[in-house]
């Protein structure tokens, strides 16, 4: 990990474009619990931070029942009974279903009552006691039940409606995913697969357990909304929040006091607010790149580590769960905004009208759905390392074929097999050599001069090649092995992907307790089509 930190430090403030990293087996997907009835608890616990701090926290969790988890292929999913997690369990439901959520209050008596709000839905409640915004669950194991119709598809937030300035800060928030009602064919209404004469790929696919190239399918649905332009190939959830440890220490010091007041007895100064921890899905970098349900984070089950192949349509589900706006920048491309707060942005002809976002800025309580795609278009060199005249000696690839479809890519629309090693290649750059030796000078044929990677970094994170493909590692090795000997975690004849830093554009938010790097930062990995992306953990 030291090598990655060195690389990030040297490239601070600059675009991290086409730096190659070894792909790890810690992807994200959108894991959660699925159904129509959820039995939740509000409880106390602790979370860890990369600086070694253990922070006293509140959170939602599962109560006593064993839920069903989604996606079905995710392994190791857990939601221990009676324990909190941060953020709360991601609730996955189907549009049109009637949803019931029962909340039991197992917070300390000094915390008083608690509740859940479901913004955007008409909620009825039973049990509990009246509160300012909704029915609340009394302390000491009191319960309240909320019922609503999942009328609006897309990504939504849920959070405490009781003393929200304190309880949301303490961790009482989570995500609600409403999957859209689609046609009887399982695809968006009015979607028509392109005719062969159109020379375009089929972009909407039902969830069948595997993608066209044979990879396991970890999508929750074929599309985020009932619109043909809302289809996607992969999806990831990012919940942005922050913490002021001073508040948490004050609450912990008072949590054990005897208290009989229904509203609680904890007295905390919320202002001046000075956040020191900035989190994505309850974790700070580099913890957010470890697997989902990692045992070292028992109360922080969700990661933030997106992987994709070139050309795949990747759905980003983004929620602002704290009190600050967070300008999050996804290097590699803009994000096409699909919806805000579950409201699909379309014109009168049902065509997408959302903007292209340079940063997906989150507002507290607001949700965004958007599509991200990385294609290598415009790089002006062949990222697959194809050479003129046929196969390169020692290569595993067929380097001869790139027939453009109507959009200029090598896809099923132009005769490519879904398992082609250069599927979705931008054909205008086919056989455009970077240079005969990857790390040389511009005069040898490459569009850029790349620095010696040994100057920038070392360690198992560095892949060492400007190419995608099965022989990328072999082609990166010169007279001095690059990367240094013994530091490559993957086989030289297998995968080496491109990585892009995804991070907050607020400089302080990429620190952990004022130490860089940390906070709201992760690495997005673009893997070759020959490398199967397995998001089972």
**Interval 477-501: pLDDT, tens:** 444 444 455 555 555 555 567 888 9
Q: Which helix (H) or strand (E) holds 474?
A: helix 472-475
In this prediction, residues 421-441 reach a mean pLDDT of 73
Do the strands 307-308 and 521-526 form a parallel or antiparallel pair, or are they unpaired?
Answer: parallel
Q: Is pLDDT above 70 for 240?
A: yes
Q: Is the pLDDT of residue 170 over 90?
A: yes
Give the H/E segment covering residue 176: strand 173-179
Residues 55-85 pLDDT 10s: 999 999 999 877 899 887 777 889 999 999 9
Q: Are 321 and 157 in contact (CB under 8 A)?
A: yes
Residue 434 pLDDT: 66
Average pLDDT over residues 270-282: 95
**CATH superfamily, region 32-179:** Cupredoxins -  blue copper proteins (2.60.40.420)
Q: What percent of the chain has pLDDT over 70?
A: 80
CA triple 232-234-235, angle to 5 deg: 95
CB 106 within 8 A of CB 42: yes
Q: What is the pLDDT at residue 493?
A: 55
Encode pLDDT of 186-226 as tens digits. Answer: 899 989 999 999 999 999 999 888 888 888 889 999 999 99
Domain residues of the chain, as ranges?
A: 32-179
How far is the CA of 513 from the CAs of 45, 246, 509, in angstroms?
20, 12, 9
Which pLDDT band, with edges at 50, 70 and 90, does 382 fall under?
Answer: confident
Those residues whose C-beta lies under 8 Å from the C-beta of residue 270, and which sit 6 or more positions away, are: 165, 166, 169, 247
pLDDT (mean) for 442-458: 48
Could you report the per-residue pLDDT of 468-479, keeping only the tens digit for each? 766 665 655 444
Strands 129-130 and 154-159: unpaired
Q: Residue 314 in contact with residue 100, Cβ under 8 Å?
A: no
Strand 277-280 vs strand 234-243: parallel, antiparallel, or unpaired?
antiparallel
């Amino acid at each position: 990990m030291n090598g990655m930190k060195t690389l990030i430090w040297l490239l601070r403030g600059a675009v991290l474009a086409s730096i190659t990293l070894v792909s790890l087996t810690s992807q994200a997907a959108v894991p959660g619990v699925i159904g129509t009835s959820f039995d939740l608890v509000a409880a106390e616990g602790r979370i860890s931070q990369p600086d070694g701090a253990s922070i006293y926290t509140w959170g939602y969790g599962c109560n006593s029942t064993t839920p069903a988890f989604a996606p079905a292929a995710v392994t190791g999913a857990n939601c221990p009974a009676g324990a909190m997690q941060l953020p709360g369990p991601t609730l996955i439901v189907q549009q049109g279903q009637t949803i019931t959520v029962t909340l039991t209050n197992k917070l300390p008596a000094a915390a008083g009552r608690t509740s859940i709000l479901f913004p955007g839905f008409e909620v009825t409640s039973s049990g509990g006691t009246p509160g300012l915004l909704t029915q609340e669950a009394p302390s000491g194991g009191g319960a309240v039940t909320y019922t609503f119709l999942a009328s609006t598809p897309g990504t939504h937030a849920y959070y405490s409606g009781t003393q929200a300035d304190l309880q949301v800060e303490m961790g009482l928030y989570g995500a609600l995913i409403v999957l859209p009602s689609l046609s009887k064919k399982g695809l968006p209404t009015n979607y028509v697969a392109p005719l062969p004469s159109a020379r375009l790929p089929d972009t909407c696919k039902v969830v069948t357990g595997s993608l066209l190239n044979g990879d396991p399918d970890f999508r929750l649905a074929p599309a985020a909304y009932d619109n043909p332009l809302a289809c996607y190939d992969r999806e990831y959830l990012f919940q942005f929040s922050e913490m002021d440890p001073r508040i948490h220490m004050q609450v912990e010091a008072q949590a054990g006091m005897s208290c009989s007041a229904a509203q609680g007895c904890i007295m905390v100064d919320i202002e001046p607010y000075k956040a020191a921890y900035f989190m994505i899905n309850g974790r700070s970098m580099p913890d957010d790149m470890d697997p989902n349900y990692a045992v070292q984070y028992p109360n922080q089950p969700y990661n933030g580590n997106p992987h994709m192949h070139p050309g795949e349509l990747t759905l980003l589900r983004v929620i602002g769960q704290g009190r600050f706006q967070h300008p999050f920048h996804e290097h590699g491309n803009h994000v096409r905004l699909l919806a805000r707060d579950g409201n699909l942005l379309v014109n009168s002809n049902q065509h997408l009208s959302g903007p292209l976002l340079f940063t997906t800025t989150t507002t507290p309580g607001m949700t965004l759905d958007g599509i991200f795609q990385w294609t290598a278009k415009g790089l002006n060199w062949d990222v697959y390392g194809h050479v003129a005249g046929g196969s390169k000696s020692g290569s595993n690839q067929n380097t001869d074929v790139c027939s453009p479809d109507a959009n200029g890519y090598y896809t099923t629309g132009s005769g490519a097999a879904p398992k082609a090693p250069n599927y979705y290649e931008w054909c205008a750059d086919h056989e455009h050599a970077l240079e005969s030796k990857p790390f040389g000078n511009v005069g040898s044929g490459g569009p850029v001069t790349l620095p010696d990677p040994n100057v920038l970094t070392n360690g198992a994170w560095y892949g060492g090649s400007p190419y995608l493909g099965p022989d990328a590692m072999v082609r990166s090795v010169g007279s001095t092995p690059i990367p240094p000997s013994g530091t490559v975690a993957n086989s030289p004849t297998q995968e080496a992907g491109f990585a892009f830093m995804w991070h907050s554009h607020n400089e302080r938010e990429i620190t952990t307790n004022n130490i860089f790097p940390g906070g709201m930062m992760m690495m997005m990995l673009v893997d070759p089509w020959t490398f199967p992306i397995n998001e089972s953990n």
